[in-house]
Structure 1
Amino acid sequence: MNLKHLRYFWAVARFGGLARAAEKLDLSPQTLSGQIADLQLALGTELLKQVGRRLELTDAGRMAYSYADEIFGLADELSVQVRSLSKSRTRLWRVGMTDAIPRSVAYRLLSPLVADRSLRLTASHERLDVLLADLALHRLDLVIADRPVPPGSAVKAFNHALGGSAIGLFAEPALARRLKPRFPAALEGAPLLMPGRDNALHEDLRVWLETRRLGVRVVGEFDDGGLMKTFGTAGAGAFPAPLALRGEIERLYGVDFVGPLDGLSERYYAISTERRATDPQVRKILALAEDLLPGAERKPAGVAKAALPAKKKPRGRG
């Protein structure tokens, strides 16, 4: 398959027809049509079909366009990055995180990278499946998540355990005073703020409550842990958080510790495309985690087979 022919097809699909694509590419429609015919011959299938006066994508054409969009998007990004590096001598280093990663943990792990003048850090939050897709497409250098790569994942990636923390319950002082004396029995009917369903802690906390037959009143579920704590500060309900950050949470949010959620913990992972952490920035993050997040065995936790991930769908963050 000739990539030049693929780009011509991609342009026709993107610009909605031979005439507009030919104008953009400074080619004649006849030349463009011949190049696409060569591509279809190489692939052994029809990519475009004539419907009235319009060209429409076939099912194979839609698939080919999706792949071509990824291929040329990466090629354009490579060009931009190389030119940027040659001009500024700085390297763009991209980290994606799940919403469950506490902001203070993320800051402590990533702040040394900001101090490195040879790097320019970008950080984003998304669902783990979207982050893994971006990692496979080299749109991210590292993913920091609250769970390892799921078994059977189509993305070939490796887990590096960063550590973790036991989980406790926190609440605004007046609510905490009411809950503390008879904790955890006092949770019956009490207002509770839950992590979002994409957070690994959500299901663990639900099972913890059911096992103890505690019928709490779930006031809200939050993908954003910072927003959950803000609601907790206002007295909307008690909320779970890592005990390793107890002092910081009490100080920053003006809440009190209610009690430990025995048996519950939250663990964090750095996920990379390399089995061994050869990137110096990844090694730096793993070294920092040894002091920040105690108690984890820091070895690769597994790998899934590689495959091209599905095209990312946009997600509203509210």
Structure 2
Amino acid sequence: MAALNYNHLRYFWAVAHEGNLTRTAEKLHVSQSALSIQIRKLEGQLGHPLFERTGKQLVLTEAGRIALEHADAIFSAGGELLSMLGNRPGTRRQILRVGALATLSRNFQMAFLRPLLKRDDVELVLRSGTTTELLHALESHRLDVVLINMPPLRDAGTPWISHPIAEQPVSLIGAAAHAGSGRGLEELLTSEPLVLPTLESSIRIGFDAVIDRLGLRVRIAAEVEDMAMMRLLAREGIGLAVVPPIVVRDELAAGTLVELAQLPELSETFFAVTLSRRFPNPLARELIASFSPTPHDDAG
């Protein structure tokens, strides 16, 4: 195989960051046709298309995203060489782009990412958003893995791979003043106001089923989408929060919140969602394969 033509790579690199062929040609003082030819030559050598056109915008393909990561590393190393004028070898930093549901437990996210947090050869890019936003970014190769708590629907057009990576029990969590009352689960549920997740939450779906099976009527103080806000409301004594203990791990350790009872047969499952790719990010595979929450993480 012929050696890589770095002029072709630099033209591709410039277009990839600009996202527009015409503007890039103007900045580089070359014709648009000449720029297109250089990129087509690089695609021919690599054997994969690097861009697809969406309207007037050029969007990277999966192969294009991988080529851009390597180009970033190559030209960054060249800049370091010019500035240092030395021979010290550099190490290429690997990049992992992780998206997480905005309402997902931060403690759980940290537990998932912890194996990579102190690695000098890894750069993490973290994003949050709705499930729809995150899956769209995953499909367009702007994310490598998405953390959510409900698996997305899969069909022939959306080949998601949902890896169940952890299951957390769900409990009634309250302010420290509730400790030692001796009340059982059913009495707590019927006598105390509750802070619940919203109706779309997998926890709420399961909780409503539990209440129906027990034949109980409950009083709802608040319905909250964000787990962090549920924690704050529980600390203020607004009501008992229905959450996995990992969400309030620090407050349980400090004694500001207490776990009063576990809800039977109710848990939250966390999923790492990837896309079926020809070139999967090895860091995502590594995390998913090795992840197991420690007892400290599970216990809260």
Whether the 8 Å contact between 1:135 and 1:273 is mirrored in structure 2 is yes
Match of 1:84 in 2: 72
Q: 1:286 deviation in Å?
A: 2.9
Relative to structure 1, is the Cα distance of residues 69 and 76 closer, same or farther in structure 2, using a 3 angstrom cutoff?
A: farther
Whether the 8 Å contact between 1:166 and 1:264 is mirrored in structure 2 is yes
In the alignment, the residues of structure 1 paired with residue 119 and residue 221 of structure 2 have an alpha-carbon distance, to the nearest angstrom, of 43
Identity %: 19
**Per-residue deviation, residues 207-249 of structure 1 (Å, max 9, x unmatched):** 2223323332222222221221111111111112225678645
In the alignment, the residues of structure 2 paired with residue 278 and residue 25 of structure 1 have an alpha-carbon distance, to the nearest angstrom, of 31
- Alignment of 1:289 with 2:289, yes or no, is no
Match of 2:173 in 1: 170
Relative to structure 1, is the Cα distance of residues 278 and 227 closer, same or farther in structure 2, using a 3 angstrom cutoff?
A: same
Letter aligned with residue 174 of structure 1: A
Moved more, 109-118 or 254-263: 109-118
Q: 1:255 deviation in Å?
A: 0.6
- Alignment of 1:120 with 2:123, yes or no, is yes
Q: The residue matched to 1:181 in structure 2 has which SS?
A: coil
Whether the 8 Å contact between 1:159 and 1:269 is mirrored in structure 2 is yes
In the alignment, the residues of structure 2 paired with residue 220 and residue 22 of structure 1 have an alpha-carbon distance, to the nearest angstrom, of 53
In the alignment, the residues of structure 2 paired with residue 68 and residue 190 of structure 1 have an alpha-carbon distance, to the nearest angstrom, of 58
In the alignment, the residues of structure 1 paired with residue 142 and residue 212 of structure 2 have an alpha-carbon distance, to the nearest angstrom, of 40
Q: What root-mean-square deviation, in Å, do the aligned CA atoms of Structure 1 and Structure 2 show?
A: 3.8
**Per-residue deviation, residues 108-139 of structure 1 (Å, max 9, x unmatched):** 21022121222211222222222111111101
Whether the 8 Å contact between 2:196 and 2:242 is mirrored in structure 1 is yes
In the alignment, the residues of structure 1 paired with residue 125 and residue 209 of structure 2 have an alpha-carbon distance, to the nearest angstrom, of 36
In the alignment, the residues of structure 2 paired with residue 138 and residue 22 of structure 1 have an alpha-carbon distance, to the nearest angstrom, of 24
Letter aligned with residue 227 of structure 1: M
Letter aligned with residue 238 of structure 1: L
Q: Among residues 159, 164, 181, which one is paired with 1:161 in the alignment?
A: 164
- Alignment of 1:71 with 2:74, yes or no, is no
Whether the 8 Å contact between 2:96 and 2:281 is mirrored in structure 1 is no
Match of 2:42 in 1: none
Could you tell me the TM-score, scaled by structure 1's length?
Answer: 0.62
Relative to structure 1, is the Cα distance of residues 160 and 70 closer, same or farther in structure 2, using a 3 angstrom cutoff?
A: farther
Q: 1:73 deviation in Å?
A: 10
Whether the 8 Å contact between 2:167 and 2:268 is mirrored in structure 1 is yes
Q: The residue matched to 1:289 in structure 2 has which SS?
A: coil
In the alignment, the residues of structure 1 paired with residue 252 and residue 104 of structure 2 have an alpha-carbon distance, to the nearest angstrom, of 18
Q: Which blocks of at least 5 consecutive residues in structure 2 are unaligned?
A: 1-20, 27-31, 33-51, 78-91
Match of 2:242 in 1: 240
Q: The residue matched to 2:147 in structure 1 has which SS?
A: strand
Whether the 8 Å contact between 1:192 and 1:239 is mirrored in structure 2 is yes
**Per-residue deviation, residues 36-87 of structure 1 (Å, max 9, x unmatched):** xxxxxxxxxxxxxxxxxxxxxxxxxxxx996554726999977864443221
Whether the 8 Å contact between 1:96 and 1:144 is mirrored in structure 2 is yes
Q: 1:177 deviation in Å?
A: 5.0
Q: Among residues 172, 184, 187, which one is paired with 2:186 in the alignment?
A: 184
Relative to structure 1, is the Cα distance of residues 187 and 177 closer, same or farther in structure 2, using a 3 angstrom cutoff?
A: farther
Q: Which blocks of at least 5 consecutive residues in structure 1 are unaligned?
A: 1-20, 27-31, 33-63, 295-318
How do 1:148-297 residues align onto structure 2 when only pairs under 5 Å count?
A: 148-152=151-155, 154-176=157-179, 180-188=182-190, 190-243=192-245, 248-252=250-254, 254-274=256-276, 279-289=282-292, 291=294
- Alignment of 1:146 with 2:149, yes or no, is yes
In the alignment, the residues of structure 2 paired with residue 291 and residue 190 of structure 1 have an alpha-carbon distance, to the nearest angstrom, of 32
